[in-house]
Amino acid sequence: MKNRIAYKFKELFKTEPILVYSPGRINLIGEHTDYNEGFVMPAAINKMMIVAIAKNGTDQARIFSMDFEEEFAFDTDSFGPKKGHWATYIMGVTAQLKQSGYDVKGYDMVFGGDIPVGAGLSSSAALEAAVGFAIAAAFDFEIPKKSLIHYAQKAEHIFAGVQCGIMDQFASVMGKKDQVIRLDCRSLDFEYFPLHLPEHSILLIDTCVKHSLADSAYNKRREECQIGVTAAQKLKSEIKSLRDIDLNLLEAIKPHISQTVLNRCRYIIEENKRVLDSSDLLDKNDLKGFGEKMYQSHEGLSRLYEVSCPELDFLVDFTKDLDDVLGSRMMGGGFGGCTINIVKKSKIKPLQDSIKAAFESKFGVTPKFYEVSLEDGTGMMLV
């Protein structure tokens, strides 16, 4: 892929590019905790976006997408979002850099990747991070990594119109090989924890479905969490988010909130604790214990937070009694997308075969499988 992108760049622009990569991400545990100022545990993976770039001495940015086989150009002094178009992400990052005082002039760019779109692996965050890093490299800007992360996130907010948390961009940029990141979404403090998998692999199973509930349900969950916070603030004014509430305080506000809001809050409080407990388990290399936390996470997402769906529940339930699967849960916003599983390497093929047959029989859809490893975050590549 790297060679194809470099070759295409030279063919189009007749010059040598700088090459930058930025990986997609998985989240091992800590789902829907990010917008509640809680903890998440993402990692960068071996699926990535690659950007080839060079300054061109003009005021035009000329871009070619390998995936769409399409060219796009814009004036770096005058441009705006193009709703639904892939170039919006690139223009969004360019705008953030310019607004932050970096003198971005014309550049040529070719990009492509192997992050499956729609599987919840954050291809857009990877592209934004790669573009920011690439422009910085091409123009010799000294941009701190944390600033690049914020520029990428703001590009998504302002240009793409998606109010995402910080986790995706953070994991893309800050990932480390064979490590997970425990990220505090309030302070952005983070720590690395080892995930040693000599006999196991991380297998993503994509349901290939996305139920229409997803967007409206996401906003509804945020509202329900806030109702819990508001009720708690009447007892303790210093409460800022569900991050600050424990199960004892939740019990105290129980008479003042609905059962649904109680369930939502309970899940978030318990999930934050699971992330912290999971860090300790990884430090002890207790993969079995870590896998049990993944199953508990899914149970909470399905029963208390109610963001799962029959397809995701089916995949998780299918693995529960299998000794070769240490843990499984839905990953991402829910109502479709992937489950993330820790599976014995020697059993991956038979597991895929049996799940494929059972899933097709029940839902009439063929799932997709992605075996991934944990890799380093955004960086330069040799041409």
178 counts as catalytic = no
Retrieve residue 121's tokens: 């692996």
- pLDDT per residue over 3-25, tens digit each? 999 999 999 999 999 999 999 99
- pLDDT per residue over 257-295, tens digit each? 999 999 999 999 999 999 999 999 999 999 999 999 999
Q: 307: which residues sit within 8 A by CB, 6+ positions away?
A: 32, 217, 221, 301, 330, 333, 334, 335
pTM for this prediction: 0.92
CB 241 within 8 A of CB 37: yes
Domain segments of the chain: what residues?
2-194+376-381
Catalytic residue, from 140, 168, 280, 317: name it. 168
Measured between alpha carbons, how far is 66 from 52 in angstroms, rounded to an integer? 11
In CATH, 2-194+376-381 is 3.30.230.10: yes
| Cα-Cα end-to-end distance for the chain | 12
- pLDDT per residue over 322-331, tens digit each? 999 999 999 9
Among the ranges given (103-112, 207-216, 270-279), the one the predictor scored with the smallest mean pLDDT = 207-216
